[in-house]
Structures are given as structure tokens and as C-alpha cells.
Copies of this chain bind each other. A is one copy, B any other.
Amino acid sequence: MMRPTAKDLAEAAGLSLATVDRVLNDRPNVSAGAVRKVNEAIERIGFFRNPAAVVLARNKLYRFRFVLPSKGDQYLLELLQRVREASQTLKSELTEITVDQIPTDDPHQLSRHLASIEHEAVDGVAVMAPESPQVRDALSRLMLRGIHLVQFLSGQEKLETADFVGVDNFAAGATAGKIIGRFLGKDPGKVMIVAETMVARDSIERRRGFDSIINQQFPGLTNLPSLETYGDERRATAIIRQVLEHNPDIKAAYIMSPESRVPVTAIRQHTDARRIVIVVHERTPFSEEALRNDQIDTIIAQDPGHAVRSAIRIMRARTDEREPIASQEKIRIEVLLKENL
């Protein structure tokens, strides 16, 4: 009836509590036979450590940190909000979460910052930053110091030994392509593609996914070269306008950057008469509103709340030396229409 305790386990294994404790906690000086006996008994009586007792006895705080860009778009704000929420909720669960905002586009500064993170201060770090060899090295060294790393929402080339939280950007691009292709039907036309920069790995993969679908399945459509805004509003508005004027047969636009306000506004200003299909990334107050007002047609999103919680769960599991549950930690590529917002 009652859950078996370690004492029951010791009895079942025919050993003392001390030996059982040694086996359970991988302490030295245990014979192979004892290990076997204990494991057998665990199976036999169905023993589980009471996690509450473990936490209490270890009396340890989980200390996790998010390293995020210092400036960014609305999506970043959403993300920060979710981290704060999670932090609040987890305060009562022995988990302390801090956020460092760093100019992540400066590899020097970022890797210096990463180098300054001590194992004494933190158990796990979730980093969202663009790729660079320096950063990659800094991350590797972080892991060597025994800190559990989560590569958070894209950026770096995947380190094999680190966990990753985020979507498959090739698939995300492909999904955008499929939506645009199907919404346009058989009419031929051109597709405008806007990115903040094509240096980032995310943009490259999205573009590849997008191209692959359009080229294979929608031969009537032609993808224009990617427009890069460099986060500059004036530049963005100008080049979008120019491209729209030179290509009256543009039927759709794919905004790959998480910041969609500037491109969408620019497009809408110059296409009053034409109704072109627009697909953007990430759910933000702006994109949500735009979807509601029929300014855009679809949002391809990854739920930031999910991502944050998933990263935390993974860091927690790693700290406990457990395997994360893969199925639960996969971030879905969400397709949002006005109807399922």
C-alpha cells in the first residue's frame, strides 16, 4: 500500500541502509554484487526515491540563467516577459532564474561574458545568440566547466553535446512556402522575401526551406532575392517600395525576421489596390493585431512561453542527471490564422 522507502529497499536487498545509500548516490566502495542486489530489489519492489525528500535533503537551489540580446524586437520583449513569468512561478520551486542581456551581435563581448559565468553561480545557461566561432568556443568551455547549456531558439551552429530548444527553421520556411503556394493557387507571380540579415543561420535555413517548396511544388511562382533590412526602418521602407514598384506581379510576401511591423506597413502602403498574401514569423502584439485586421494572412510562430519552460525543464533535468523527455520538449511550428489565434 505505502510507497516503499529506502529502508524497505535495504530490507528487500538484504543489505544495510548505508550500502543502499552508497548505491543510490554512486558513492565509492561498493561491490558489484551489492549494486546488482540493490538494482534487482528496486525492480522487484518498484522503488522510487521520493523527490520531495531528495530535494529537501540536498537542500539545493537550481540556478539558471538566460543570456539574451540586449536590444531587439517585440518578440524579444515577449520572451523576456515569459522568462519573468516562469521565474515568478518557479520561485516557489527552488529555482532561481536570472537574465543577462548582452549585445549578442558582438562576439567579443558575448564570449567574454560567457567566460565570466562560474559553475559556482549557475547550474545551467540558455543562450540565444548568433553564430560565431568565438562564441562557439566560449560555449564549449562553459560546458567543460560543468555548466549545462541549452542553445536557445536558434543562433549557433548546434553543438553536439548541448541541448537545443527551438524549431527546425528549414521546416518553418517550408511551411511558409506551402501556405503561400496554396493560398495563391495556380496564378503565376513573384514572391518578395524580407529578412533582417541573411548572415544569420536562421534566415538562411528558412529561405532554403521556403525555396525548396516553392520550386518543387509551385512552378508558377518565382522567389525574388532576399531583401535585407539591417533593422533600419528607413532603408527597409525604401527598398520594399522600390521592389514593389519594379515588380507589379508580386503576389505574396514572406517576412522572415521576427520584426514584421516595418515591412508589413511598407507593403500595405504600396499595395492598396493589390491584395497580396503576407506570411510573417512570430506572434507579437503587432502581428496578432495585423492578423485580426486582415493585414496579413498567416503567422508562423514558435510559442515563446513553451520555449522558455522547455529550456528550464531541460536544464533542470540535466542538473538532476536525468534525461529530458524528448517528446514534450519539441517546439512546434505553429500556423496561426485569424481563426485560431
CB distance from A335 to the nearest CB of B (A): 4
Quick one: which of A25-68 are within 8 Å of B by CB?
48-53, 55-56, 61
Quick one: which of A306-341 are within 8 Å of B by CB?
309, 325, 327-328, 332-340
Given known contacts A94-B52, A185-B185, A335 and B327 CB-to-CB distance under 8 angstroms:
no
Q: Which range holds the interface residue count of chain A? A: 35 or more
Please, which residue of chain B has its CB at the minimum distance from the CB of A341? Answer: B171
B residues near A51, Cβ cutoff 8 Å: 52, 92-94
Q: Which of A61, A179, A186 has its CB near the most chain B CB atoms (within 10 A)?
A: A179
- Asked if B56 contacts A52 (CB within 8 A), the reply is yes
- Asked if B332 contacts A92 (CB within 8 A), the reply is no
- Asked if B3 contacts A340 (CB within 8 A), the reply is no
The secondary-structure label for the interface of chain A is: helix
CB distance from A202 to the nearest CB of B (A): 16
Pick the contact of A183: B182, B303, B309 (CB < 8 A): B182
- Asked if B49 contacts A340 (CB within 8 A), the reply is no
Q: Which of A305, A333, A338, A340 has its CB near the most chain B CB atoms (within 10 A)?
A: A340
Pick the contact of A213: B175, B309, B339 (CB < 8 A): B339
B residues near A89, Cβ cutoff 8 Å: 325
- Asked if B340 contacts A172 (CB within 8 A), the reply is yes
B residues near A50, Cβ cutoff 8 Å: 56, 94
Bound together, the chains give a CA A174 to CA B339 distance in angstroms of 6
CB distance from A261 to the nearest CB of B (A): 23
CB distance from A99 to the nearest CB of B (A): 19
B residues near A209, Cβ cutoff 8 Å: 339
- Asked if B178 contacts A338 (CB within 8 A), the reply is yes
B residues near A108, Cβ cutoff 8 Å: none
Query: Is A7's beta carbon under 8 Å from chain B?
Result: no
For this complex, 24 residue pairs linking A to B, each with C-beta atoms less than 8 Å apart, are: A48-B91, A48-B92, A49-B92, A50-B56, A51-B52, A51-B92, A51-B93, A52-B56, A52-B94, A53-B56, A171-B339, A171-B340, A175-B337, A179-B337, A182-B183, A183-B183, A185-B185, A209-B339, A213-B339, A303-B332, A305-B327, A332-B334, A334-B335, A335-B335
Given contacts A175-B339, A305-B328, A333-B340, 16 further A-B contacts (CB under 8 A): A50-B56, A51-B92, A52-B52, A52-B53, A53-B56, A85-B325, A171-B339, A171-B340, A178-B337, A182-B297, A183-B183, A303-B332, A309-B328, A332-B340, A335-B335, A335-B337
